[in-house]
Amino acid sequence: MRGGPFLYCESMPATNEIFNEAVRRAMKLKGLVQEDIFARLGYSRRTLVEGFSFVKMCELEFLLGTPAEVLWNVDPVDSEALAQARKAFERRFCTAEAVDWAQRFPIRELQRLGHIRMTEGLTFNKKFKSGLLPREIMKFMGVASLDGWKKTYSVALETVNPQVYSAWIRLGEIQVARPSSDFFISRDVIANNLKFLRRNALPLKENLRQIVIDTLRKCDIAVLQVPSFIMAPAPKAACFWRGLQPVVQLPTGPMSDGEFMESVYHVMGHILQSHSKRPCLLAPKTVAGMIATAKNGCNEAKRVAESLLMTEAEECELICCGRFAEKACIEFFSRRFQIRPGIIVSRLQQLKKIRRDSPLNALKMAV
């Protein structure tokens, strides 16, 4: 016997290669690459490789949905150590932090959709404190720890309902397969199509939304329409990447054409300017309607979106008017162009037609 349970869990498995052929096959079935694995585990490559223990083996087993014995051909001598590590791993789901985390998810709706196990008739202790629902939710979210959830769905952490919005994003993720490694998108083609759609928004008004969605799909962008959860105000839009393919996720339900166009163009701004494949979430931060989104690169994405939302012809018309400092003028063109006054103010500031500290900045706060 090599030691107590702690030594069993922390001892090193007798394996020469973590990402062997069996692990790579399991990753392919799940549509994951090593970058995804580290995010969903919640720590770096170095942490995994330099401290590979039986507990970390159990984390990968849980994440890939394949027994460790299949993934690494575990030596029978290590079977007891692996069993102890599994017990230690399962105890994570019973902690107060895990229970509190799980309670904030839209459990009944996820159960109705068949993504987590039904628990009708069970007591609170059997549902939560036993680790049943925390484990089910973590399995649905495709993460192996709370740190993995925070790292993978960091854009949702900026909202007051991070569990609800991360679950909404996850509903979209599981609908999209990872494309082949030779897949690519043309940012120039996408930008030109977005400009065309904006110029023709009024003539296309009756079928505007479907035309926008179909156009993006023709540009090799996956577009999903996913119902939002009733536990939180509906999100505006989100974008994430599956391999080299960008995915735009939109909620179903009522939304004005102006809101729809602004939401789509904002997430497309992230896609067009982001070479690091950062995700983005546009969601109400509060009932009052504050918008939450990824901080890194958000201002640049917003600038790209605003440039696409105002056509050159509209800019010329606005500049010819010349009354930049008048609120009534801005509001008139806002109605005429069907875009928020704040976008016009930002554009005029970029063109240096009005000062950065103009009183018209108040229009940027309008929802």
Task: Check whether 286 has a pLDDT greater than 50.
Answer: no
State the Cα torsion 223-228-234-239 to the nearest 10°: -30
Comparing CA positions, the residue from 23, 9, 163 lying closest to residue 80 is 9
pLDDT band at 202; cut points 50, 70, 90: low
Residues paired with residue 60 on neighbouring β-strands, in sequence order: none
Q: Which range has the top average pLDDT, 146-150, 208-212, 277-281? A: 146-150
Task: Check whether 8 has a pLDDT greater than 50.
Answer: no
pLDDT at 103: 96
Tokens coding 297: 């690169």
76 vs 209, residue with greater confidence: 209
Would you put residue 252 in left (φ > 0), alpha (ψ -120 to 50) or beta?
beta
- Domains along the sequence of the chain with CATH: 5-92 (1.10.260), 187-309 (no CATH), 312-365 (no CATH)
Residue entry with tokens 């500031």:
349
pLDDT at 2: 43
Q: How many whole angstroms separate alpha carbon 159 and alpha carbon 161?
A: 5
Q: What proportion of the chain, given as a percentage, has pLDDT over 70?
A: 81
DSSP string, 196-252: HHHHTTTTTGGGHHHHHHHHHHHTT-EEEEEPPPTTSPPP-EEEEEETTEEEEEEE-
3-class DSSP assignment, residue 343: helix
CA-to-CA separations, 250 to 41, 118, 119, in angstroms, rounded:
27, 28, 30
277 vs 55, residue with greater confidence: 55
pLDDT at 348: 80
Residue entry with tokens 């729809």:
260
Tokens coding 14: 């007798």
Q: How many whole angstroms separate alpha carbon 293 and alpha carbon 297?
A: 10
What tens digit of pLDDT does each residue of 216-253 get? 999 999 999 999 999 888 999 999 999 889 999 999 98
pLDDT band at 3; cut points 50, 70, 90: very low
What tens digit of pLDDT does each residue of 295-326 get? 545 666 666 666 666 655 566 656 666 666 67
Tokens coding 3: 């030691």
Tokens coding 195: 């400009």
Q: Are 245 and 256 in contact (CB under 8 A)?
A: no
Q: How many whole angstroms separate alpha carbon 134 and alpha carbon 214?
A: 38
Query: What mean pLDDT value characterizes the chain?
Result: 84
pLDDT at 166: 97
Burial (Cβ within 10 Å: 0-12, 13-18, ≥19) of residue 332: middle
pLDDT band at 61; cut points 50, 70, 90: very high
Q: Please state, as a whole number, how many other Cβ atoms lie within 10 Å of the Cβ of residue 247.
A: 21
Would you put residue 322 in left (φ > 0), alpha (ψ -120 to 50) or beta?
left
CA angle, residues 138, 66, 50, in degrees to nearest 5:
80
Q: Please compute, for residue 160, the number of CA atoms within 13 A of its CA located in the half-sphere on the CB side.
A: 12
Helix (H) or strand (E) holding 292: strand 291-292
Q: Please state, as a whole number, how many other Cβ atoms lie within 10 Å of the Cβ of residue 262.
A: 21
pLDDT band at 13; cut points 50, 70, 90: low
Task: Check whether 41 has a pLDDT greater than 90.
Answer: yes
What tens digit of pLDDT does each residue of 168-197 get? 999 999 999 988 877 888 989 998 898 888
Kindly give the residue spans of alpha helices, DSSP state H, lying in the chain. 5-10, 21-30, 34-41, 45-50, 54-64, 68-72, 79-91, 96-103, 107-112, 124, 132-141, 146-152, 162-173, 187-199, 208-218, 257-273, 298-309, 312-321, 327-337, 341-350
Lowest-confidence range among 57-71, 181-195, 198-212, 294-308?
A: 294-308
